[in-house]
A = this chain, B = another copy of it.
Amino acid sequence: MPKTITVLTETVSYSNRAFDVVDQNIELPSGLRVVHSTVLHRGAVVILPIANDGKLIAIRQYRHSIKKTLLEFPAGTLSEGEEPIACAKREISEETGYGAKKWVDLGTMYPAPGFCNEIQHTFVARDLYPNTLEGDPDEVIEVAPLSVAEVEAAIASGELCDCKSISIFYKAKMRGLF
């Protein structure tokens, strides 16, 4: 897998400042022809910042798409042409008020591969220091430093229910980074 999939036609049917939607007529290996629609996304970074006292720097962010405030780790969308590590250094400062002297690349992951091409570049950030950048004025964020045990309890209780945040936490835990 995959055998050959042929794109017969494609149309960008929708665009906004964050994503486009492309509709494709495709022919599957079986010969079946179907319409496949993809949300085209620039990609993003997800960051697990570990403070010098061992706490993990989470945030509480209001997410208008689901009308809830979620407990998450910091993240953000790549600007046009931006390298993932540069985006991560910008986002950690905008969202948490910290910079980091050490970065560990934890690889990439996909949040919604069924209908969206977003790729998330994941990093652990260490040796933190105060470094506040002004954040996006349309983001509503509170910084929430939590112990490892508190993060685990929040996942177990369902309070931490954001897939990218659960995933980066577990990837870092497996690597023995906290």
**28 A-B residue pairs with CB within 8 Å:** A1-B60, A1-B62, A1-B142, A2-B62, A2-B140, A5-B64, A14-B21, A16-B23, A16-B35, A29-B140, A30-B137, A32-B137, A36-B64, A36-B65, A39-B115, A63-B113, A65-B113, A66-B110, A66-B119, A70-B113, A107-B158, A107-B161, A108-B161, A113-B162, A155-B170, A156-B171, A163-B166, A169-B170
A18 on interface, CB distance cutoff 8 Å: yes
A33 to chain B minimum Cβ distance, whole angstroms, is 9
Residues of B within 8 A of A132 (CB): none
On whether A19 and B115 interact (CB within 8 A), knowing A1-B140, A26-B64, A69-B2, the answer reads yes
On whether A115 and B65 interact (CB within 8 A), knowing A171-B155, A174-B152, the answer reads yes
- Least CB separation from A76: chain B residue: B114
How many chain copies? 2
B155 x A174 contact (CB < 8 A): yes
A111 on interface, CB distance cutoff 8 Å: yes
Residues of B within 8 A of A41 (CB): 115
